[in-house]
């Protein structure tokens, strides 16, 4: 099989001459001088590999991923001792002989052709691998859990729930990081009373795209908030909605993977839209408007689907379930989606609002059951927002805070609790996709009402 190659740089023609003189399966298809030309030609499908000699200083992990999607392997020639920051590239010494160059191009083309595509449809299954520097001082067998809070449009309370659940986990001495990945209306900074003059998420994605996501740099730019008896690390979102192109899918995936190696729990506040608009066009290299949300959904171990208990919110969350489970190129298992209805109050639904919602839920047949209800307590919420505190600090005994504790309890099974051991770490935690029969929490009023209503019907 022939291996047509795009050559970037090589002003002297040294490598082109060496390749052509061999007259083997590797041949030069195009000789270009701009990285943009490489990307454009790769999209046409006429090349199987690219040889980078010079002019690739702006190459990022996202662009390498794009080339991999186009079935184009990448070989880069660097001087001995120069850094090799990006994964999924075959680096070659400038002192290599022609046969070594040709062998590297053949291998790169073969590897990218045999690499499976990820479930998100965006690049190799391995994604952007974590650099060794990013994993220093991290337990090699440690793997935190990603919990993504998502819901339809209409302000169902994704950010409020994500932040306060993170605070509850932090107060229980877990290591917790919360990520504001809402590229439409980021709000975690404001909820915590923090300055939003810079975006931690943008900086982390930039480092990941350049292959420089190191532990020391993460620690320098991470914001830490004291929560009662624990601490919470916060990755602030973009400062303006028009900065969404800075949050590339592959870079965010790398950031989340790095954070799960450092924390017990990574909670992600995601935006509402799941439309994969740019994927529907022919401009494949363009950033996706909703890449952050799609990536947060794709990478999640558990998804909290938040709806609102009113005449608009309940139909929206019903439709959102179908949308979530049928999102193109993102495989979402039903077992990891947990539906919680927020802002429950009689004024919007009528007397006994939980039973009214459960009745509608059974009648219109959504694919997933409701796992819990969160009451509407504007006084507690307003006080929390006004003071820049979490509910665990400003209103720990409120009904809404108790409901959020129930939400956390419904997800976490502490294996050590049965043994009477009071340690908290990712090693002795598992995430429950559904409670086993007879094991529901006795403190969960929504489950009790669901069972009572089912008995009556």
**132 falls within a domain:** no
Assess whether 78 and 172 both reside in one domain.
no
Half-sphere CA count of 265, side-chain side, radius 13 A: 33
What band does 246 get if pLDDT is binned at 50, 70 and 90? very high
Residue 126 lies in a domain: no
Do 144 and 107 share a domain, yes or no? no
Give the closest residue to 256 by CA, choosing from 199, 328, 180.
180
Q: Is the pLDDT score of 436 beyond 80?
A: no
Out of 114, 148, 183, a domain closes at: 114
- Reference 305, options 327, 289, 287, 288; nearest CA is 327
Q: Given a cut of 60, is residue 442 above it in pLDDT?
A: no
Domain boundary, last residue among 114, 149, 184? 114
Residue 152 or 130, more confident? 152
157 within some domain: yes
Kindly report the average pLDDT of the chain as a whole number. Answer: 83
C-alpha torsion angle, residues 292, 294, 300, 302 (rounded to 10): 120
Instruction: State whether 194 and 48 are in the same domain.
Output: no
Q: According to DSSP H, which parts of 300-351 are helical?
A: 313-325, 346-349
160 shares its domain with 285:
yes
Q: Does residue 179 register a pLDDT over 70?
A: yes
d(CA 454, CA 449): 8
Give residue 336's pLDDT: 94
pLDDT at 142: 52
pLDDT in tens, 338-380: 999 999 999 999 999 999 999 999 998 788 999 999 999 999 9
Res 237: pLDDT: 96
Q: What is the pLDDT of residue 174?
A: 94
Give the integer Cα–Cα distance in Å for 111 and 124. 10
Q: Per the confidence metrics, is the pTM higher than 0.85? A: no
CA distances from 310 to 162, 180, 305 (A): 21, 26, 16
E strand intervals along 41-136: 49-52, 73-78, 90-93
- The CATH number of the domain holding residue 51 is 3.40.50.2300
Please tell me whether residues 150 and 251 are part of one structural domain: yes
pLDDT reported for residue 136: 45
Q: In what order do the strands lie in the sheet with 176-181?
A: 223-227, 230-235, 176-181, 265-270, 145-150, 302-308, 337-344, 370-375
pLDDT tens-digit map of 265-308:
999 999 999 987 654 444 556 678 999 999 999 999 999 999 99
pLDDT tens for residues 122-146?
444 333 344 444 444 444 455 899 9
Share of the chain above pLDDT 70, in %: 82
391/249 same-domain check: yes
Predicted local distance difference test score (pLDDT) of residue 284:
55
Q: Are 31 and 77 in contact (CB under 8 A)?
A: no
Cβ-Cβ contacts under 8 Å for 290 (sequence gap 6 or more): 183, 271, 273, 274, 275, 276, 277
Q: Residue with structure tokens 């994964």?
A: 87
Give the helix/strand (H/E) hosting 184.
Answer: none
In a domain, 7, yes or no: yes
**Do the beta carbons of residue 404 and residue 161 sit within 8 Å?**
yes
pLDDT attached to residue 413: 52
Higher local confidence (pLDDT), 55 or 260: 260
Q: Tell which of 66, 99, 114 closes a domain.
A: 114
Q: Give residue 87's pLDDT.
A: 81
User: Is 90 exceeded by the pLDDT of residue 429?
Assistant: no
Rounded to the nearest 5°, which phi and psi values hold at 94?
A: -65, -15
C-alpha 447/C-alpha 440 separation (Å) is 7
Write the CATH number for 384.
3.40.50.300
Domain assignment present for residue 175? The answer is yes
**Same domain flag for 287 and 412:** yes
Question: Do 316 and 448 have their domain in common?
Answer: yes
- The neighbour count for residue 368, using CB atoms within 10 Å, is 18
Examine the domain organization and report whether 445 and 308 are in the same domain: yes
Lowest-confidence pick of 240-244, 259-263, 286-290, 365-369: 286-290
Distance of CA 270 to the CA centre of its chain: 9
Is position 202 within any domain? yes
- Cα angle 155-160-166, degrees, rounded to a multiple of 5: 145
- What are 403-423's pLDDT values in tens digits? 999 999 998 753 333 334 344
DSSP helix/strand/coil, 90? strand
Q: Pick the range with the lowest mean pLDDT from 40-49, 196-205, 208-217, 316-325.
A: 208-217
pLDDT (average), residues 105-124: 68
On whether residue 121 sits in a domain, the answer given is: no
For residues 443 and 307, membership in a common domain is answered with yes
| Number of structural domains in the chain | 2
Q: Residue 243 above 80 pLDDT?
A: yes
Say if CB 203 and CB 265 are below 8 A apart. no
Instruction: Check pLDDT > 50 for residue 98.
Output: yes
Q: Alpha carbon 203 to chain centroid distance?
A: 15
Q: CA-CA distance, 383 to 202, in Å (whole number)?
A: 30
- What is residue 338's three-state secondary structure? strand
Q: Average pLDDT in the 326-330 region?
A: 81
**103 is in which domain, residue-wise?**
3-114
Phi, psi values for residue 344, rounded to 5°: -80, 125
127 in a structural domain: no
Instruction: Note the pLDDT tens digit of each residue in 38-67.
Output: 988 998 889 999 999 988 888 888 889 889
Are residues 227 and 107 located together in one domain of the fold? no
Report the distance separating Cα 338 and Cα 407, nearest Å. 10
Q: Are residues 437 and 291 in the same domain?
A: yes
Q: Note the pLDDT tens digit of each residue in 165-175.
A: 999 999 999 99
Average pLDDT of the segment spanning 237-246: 94
């Amino acid at each position: 099989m022939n291996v047509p190659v795009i050559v970037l740089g090589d002003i002297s023609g040294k490598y082109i001459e060496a390749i052509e003189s061999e007259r083997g399966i590797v041949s030069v298809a195009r000789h270009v001088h701009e990285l943009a030309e490489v990307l454009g030609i790769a999209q046409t499908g006429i090349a199987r590999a690219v040889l980078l000699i010079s002019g690739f200083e702006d190459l990022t992990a996202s662009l390498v991923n794009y080339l991999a999607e186009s079935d184009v392997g990448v070989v880069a020639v660097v001087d001995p001792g120069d850094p090799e920051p990006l994964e999924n590239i075959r680096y070659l010494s400038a002192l290599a002989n022609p046969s070594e160059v040709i062998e590297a191009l053949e291998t790169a083309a073969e590897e990218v052709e045999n690499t499976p595509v990820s479930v998100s449809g965006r690049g190799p299954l391995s994604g952007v691998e974590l650099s060794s520097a990013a994993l220093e001082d991290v337990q090699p067998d440690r793997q935190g859990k990603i919990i993504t809070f998502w819901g339809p449009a209409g302000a169902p309370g994704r950010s409020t729930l994500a932040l306060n659940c993170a605070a509850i986990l932090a107060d229980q001495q877990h290591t917790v990081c919360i990520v504001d990945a809402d590229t439409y209306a980021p709000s975690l900074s404001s909820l915590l009373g923090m300055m939003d003059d810079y975006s931690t998420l943008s900086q982390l994605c930039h480092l990941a795209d350049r292959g420089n996501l190191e532990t020391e740099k993460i620690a320098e730019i991470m914001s830490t908030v004291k929560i009662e008896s624990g601490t919470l690390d916060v990755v602030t979102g973009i400062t303006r909605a028009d900065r969404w192109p800075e949050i590339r899918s592959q870079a965010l995936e790398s950031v989340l993977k790095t954070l799960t190696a450092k924390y017990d729990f990574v909670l992600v506040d995601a935006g509402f839209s799941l439309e994969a608009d740019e994927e529907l066009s022919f401009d494949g290299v363009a950033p996706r408007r909703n890449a952050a949300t799609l990536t947060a959904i794709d990478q999640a171990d558990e998804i909290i689907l938040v709806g609102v208990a009113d005449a608009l919110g309940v139909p929206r969350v019903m439709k959102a379930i179908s949308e979530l489970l049928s999102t193109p190129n993102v495989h979402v298992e039903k077992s990891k989606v947990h539906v919680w209805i927020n802002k429950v109050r009689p004024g919007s639904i009528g007397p006994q609002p939980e039973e009214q919602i459960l009745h509608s839920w059974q009648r219109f047949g959504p694919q997933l059951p409701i796992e819990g209800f969160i009451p509407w307590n504007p006084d507690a919420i307003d006080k929390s927002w006004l003071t820049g505190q979490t509910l665990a600090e400003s209103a720990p005994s409120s009904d809404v805070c108790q409901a959020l504790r129930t939400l956390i309890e419904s997800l976490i099974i502490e294996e050590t609790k049965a043994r009477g051991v009071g340690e908290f770490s990712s090693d002795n935690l598992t995430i429950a996709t559904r409670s086993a029969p007879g094991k529901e929490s006795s403190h969960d009023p929504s489950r009790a009402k669901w069972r009572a209503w089912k008995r009556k019907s």
